[in-house]
Amino acid sequence: MKTETEYINTDFDLKSKSPFDTLNRELDQMCCVLHYTHGEDGHWHSTVESAHDDGTAKRNAETDILAIIAAINVLSPAATAELASCCLREFNIGFHCWDTWAYVHRLPSPVVQAVANADCSLAVTLYPMRNPDGSPKE
């Protein structure tokens, strides 16, 4: 039985040379901060997801990205300054890759423009769901 490739979620990844506690606290009130840590590389890192819990097949990157951008747009001046000081502000779109050939997940131009207006970047992460021998990963 073939399994379809599927969108998982979009992480908003942040990295900075300095702590961004205010930004992290404000984002956590409107989104879901998965982690916020001082890494071994000397930088501060955070991964944020949208707070809505839509685990249905209708969930998509557009909805997740726009929810996080809505949170960014209402940050305090202090949190906005901390966001601007981050050297990485990236929306990382994740997919479980199964058996689908030529899977397409569209991101409308207004969403791409909103990401650019927020001075952020886009990335895509593909998670293989099969082992090298073709068996499904546990």
The tens digit of pLDDT for each residue in 76-133 reads 999 999 999 999 999 999 999 988 888 999 999 999 999 999 999 999 999 988 888 8
Percent of the chain scoring above 90 in pLDDT: 78
Chain mean pLDDT for the chain: 93
* pLDDT at 46 > cutoff 70: yes
Alpha-carbon span 86 to 44, nearest angstrom: 9
pLDDT recorded at residue 39: 96
* Helices vs strands, H then E, count in the chain: 4, 5
Domain locations along the chain: 10-93+106-124
Alpha-carbon span 56 to 75, nearest angstrom: 29
Q: In this structure, are strands 121-128 and 88-97 parallel, antiparallel, or unpaired?
A: parallel
In this structure, what token pair is assigned to residue 7?
């969108």
Q: Is 39 helix (H, G, I), strand (E, B) or coil?
A: coil
Which residues are CB-contacts of 80 (< 8 A; sequence separation ≥ 6)? Answer: none
